[in-house]
Amino acid sequence: SGEPAFDLRARLDLAAAALLFSTGGAAIKLADANGWQVAGLRSLIAATLLWLTLPRARGPWNARILAVATSYAGTLTAFVLSTKATTAANAIFLQSTAPLYVLALSPLLLRERIRAADGWIAALFGLGLIAIMWGQYQPQASAPNPTLGNGLGALSGLLWGITLMGLRWLTRNPSESGGDATRAVIAGSVITFAICAPMMASGVADMSFRDLMIIAGLGVFQVALPYAFLTRGIARVPAFSASLIILIEPALNPIWSWLVHKETVDIAAIVGGIIILTASLAKSANERRRSKDARNNE
């Protein structure tokens, strides 16, 4: 039939990753440390934890792994700096433009087929983003520079789309890539630390114990653990489908930020988040139906 089997466990892995990812905006804003310190230290902690706990992550790095790692490092750095400058909702929703890049590039780069139904899902997703960006966002205590933050958020969306395709590429053909995606996550975390180190070094000694604990929690529960789920799940789910499941993250991220920081979320952002989550669920339901029909026809 040519239809890939619907793998529920893989999709649950991706959903678990998205749930953990969604706590990042609120937690990043809890720390008084600057964005460079948060991005660099949480990445160092995550890389160390993944290397210690996952034997498959200890293999050598090659050019393909480093290429994906570089895009991932850019995503990590841009997203944290964006979250510090604008609202958590804006940062994550702008990063969530990633599926549009995946939709445009995955047929060329991954040779993964995009169906007509995917176009409708992408249109629904785009409608959600338009609703979010239609809202009025003013500077506030937890979002002092929305213009800069929004620009960095848009950059993180492009890089995240490239990263998702790269992780899919590595896990889909491990014999050709020379290693799995976990190595790329570790390499990307190390590169992130190297990028941030010059800007964070002078203030590390003055960081509070509270900030260190928040950043340690980010490294463990918002980077290392979700990426363990992500790299396992994305091996069995097409890149575009995976990128939509991960949109659970932007649907939940503003809720955590409102609960923790009382950060204002425009009603348009709430509507957009609901539309995005609906698009993600519709995509998974459509794939499950197609897979079931294909098995019945065999």
- Per-residue 3-state assignment (H helix, E strand, C coil) for 261-283: HCCCCCHHHHHHHHHHHHHHHHH
The C-alpha angle with vertex 116 and arms to 113 and 117, in degrees rounded to 5, equals 100
pLDDT above 90 for 244: no
State how far the Cα of 261 lies from the Cα of 10, in Å rounded to an integer. Answer: 33
Retrieve residue 47's tokens: 């890389």
More confident residue, 192 or 233: 192
pLDDT tens figures, 101-117: 887 788 777 777 777 77
Token look-up 């180190």 returns 197
Cα dihedral 146, 152, 157, 158 sign: positive
CA 96 to the chain's CA centroid: 8
List the one residue out of 147, 106, 137 whose CA is nearest residue 267: 137
pLDDT of res. 39: 94
pLDDT above 80 for 162: yes
List the one residue out of 292, 285, 7, 266 whose CA is nearest residue 124: 285
Q: Are 222 and 214 in contact (CB under 8 A)?
A: no
Determine the average pLDDT of the residues in 156-185: 79
List the one residue out of 143, 177, 114 whose CA is nearest residue 261: 143
Determine the average pLDDT of the residues in 248-271: 79
136 pLDDT band (50/70/90 cuts)?
low
- Global pTM reads 0.78
Cβ neighbors of 140 (< 8 A, separation 6 or more) are 87, 263, 264
pLDDT tens figures, 24-70: 888 998 988 999 999 999 999 999 998 998 887 788 898 989 999 99
